[in-house]
Structure 1
Amino acid sequence: MLPIGEFSKICNVTTKTLRYYDEIGLLKPSIVNGHNGYRYYDVQQLKTILLITKLKKYGCSLEEIELILRDPCGEKLPRLIRQKQQQLQMQLENQQSVLQQLADDISKLEKGIDIMAYLDNIAVELVETAPRNILYTRQKMSIDEYCKYFGQLFETIAREKLTCLGAPIAIYHDKEFDPASNDTEIAIPIAEKNSRTRELAGGLCAKGVHRGAYSELPSTYTRIVQWMEENGYQIAAPPYEIYVTDPAVIKSPDDTVTEIYFPIKK
């Protein structure tokens, strides 16, 4: 048996963190001294803490890790690892895109060109959208969790043999931006109606098409809002995005196509 201090030194995890893992039930010590409350760990638990550390490094939440520890040899672990690989790959590609933008902007500045002039080239159009029946889940989530929730919806569609009618959608209900905990509705249009579907209302929208990395979406949002002000429109309902391209298929973030819709009124 290893006292908590020795266990901490071996696995490079602070005793504070180990006590927290104990409190939330993620990793409980094998023995707790009833007189002084001192924690002792079994040597075999070193493997468990190493797995926890590895999964945290991959970007897994403690909730996700807890599910894995319940069944470490099950199907959830490889599925989660693949999901995190895709997320990290997207982050890497986004960083490569930023480096290319830096090079482009340096070149423009050297030629005396305004690096924000591109906003004037973003087209905005007035469209009338049709209602959509959507399979959805709505909750507070981080941007990095979108793939997970979209994956769950697609699993439901495959398992229940539902009919997919369009590209994935994200609807933003929060009044302010919080990348770590945003009130977001993840949805997929389907033909069937059930207790997990609702109608996404149709109507008049200001539409912009963003071509490029998701990190640059605010540029298109900015141009849409400018256009709305220029033409006397107001926001009538939460804006939403339709992901026309599949990130797993395209070769570069620059090939990403996202449609942005702002329901509007005069």
Structure 2
Amino acid sequence: MDKKNSINSFRFKIGEFSKLCRVTVKTLRHYEAISLLTPNEIDEWTGYRYYNVSQSQKMATIQHLKRLGFSLEEISDIFSTGSDRPDIDRIEKKLEECRDEIEKLKHRATELSCLSEQIKSKTNMDKIFIKTIPSRIVASHRQIIKSYDELFNLCPNILGPEMMKIGCTCPEPQYCYTVEHNKEHCDSNIDLEYCEAVGEWHEDTPLLHFYESAELKNAVCMNHIGSYERFGETFAELLKYLEENDIHITGSPRFCYIDGIWNKESEDEWLTEIQVPVE
């Protein structure tokens, strides 16, 4: 091998370097623009860019760190320390991000599986129907909650024992529901009233207030199957129906709990009837 070929074998034009490292020329130009990987040599007459073997190793490091989830800015910061490896703190932080992403992906997979099953069985949302909901004596509790998850503790562990203590009965048909009193939707600090129909009046307690709920002569109803986080999907269908039929809402919607954590193992089987008073 002559001297010229020997020299050329250790430096590469940008196209050659692109093929060897399996990255596009556009990517190499971008890395040069952000000073992440600059050519080893630029011919002042032709403008040709040349890369050497050590830069192919640096490119491999960049690709590896990208696969580990590091951004180009983070990789540049790592290189600025004189090292080609992240320190322990950076690795621990990235591991925590991975764990968070795994949980998000698990939740997304569950949602997608649920959606797939609902589409296959066509049970995502039952047809809309209108009915009269009679007045009932209810035991009511109202408080600010951070999320609907608090109901899983509030109802069975706090309100249930309180109702049993004062001798409340829950005659058929059983009826419990919640009403949100916020003027607008809130993801947290929800002003929520929980009501459960009872068979008789009782004196109010620090936790419970007894009154007769209003009769809903016309309530547009729709069954929601699944997590309470997805109430918005069902409600969107209801609102579309109301608009198309020129029906007007006259009061706060009720969320009537038929099946839930108390009798179903999977939240995919939770059944809630959304009841909207209308005229």
> Is this contact kept in 2: 1:119–1:223, CA < 8 A?
no
Kindly report the root-mean-square deviation, in angstroms, between the aligned alpha carbons of the 2 structures. 3.0
> Is this contact kept in 1: 2:181–2:192, CA < 8 A?
yes
Q: Secondary structure at the match of 1:137?
A: strand
Matched, 1:191 2:196: no
From 134, 152, 177, the equivalent of 1:147 is 152
- The residue correspondences of 1:1-266 to structure 2 (distance < 5 A) are 98-102=108-112, 122-143=126-147, 144-151=149-156, 152-165=158-171, 166-194=174-202, 195=204, 196-203=209-216, 204-265=218-279
Inter-CA distance 104–235: structure 2 relative to 1 (3 Å threshold) = closer
Q: Secondary structure at the match of 1:180?
A: coil
Structure 1 counterpart of 2:263, which letter?
V
Q: Percent identity?
A: 22
- Segments of structure 2 that go 5 or more residues without pairing to the other structure are 1-102
Distance in 1 separating the partners of 2:140 and 2:213: 10
TM-score (norm. length: structure 2): 0.52
Inter-CA distance 123–95: structure 2 relative to 1 (3 Å threshold) = farther
Distance in 2 separating the partners of 1:250 and 1:94: 24
> Is this contact kept in 1: 2:125–2:222, CA < 8 A?
no
> Is this contact kept in 1: 2:249–2:277, CA < 8 A?
yes
Shift of 1:95: 8.1
1:76-121 deviations in Å (ceiling 9; x for gaps): xxxxxxxxxxxxxxxxx9986641333577x89xxxxxx9xx8996
Count of paired positions: 164
Q: Secondary structure at the match of 2:151?
A: helix
Inter-CA distance 146–263: structure 2 relative to 1 (3 Å threshold) = same
Distance in 1 separating the partners of 2:259 and 2:109: 22
Bigger Rg over Cα = 2
Aligned to 2:92: none
Q: Secondary structure at the match of 1:176?
A: coil
- Segments of structure 1 that go 5 or more residues without pairing to the other structure are 1-92, 109-114
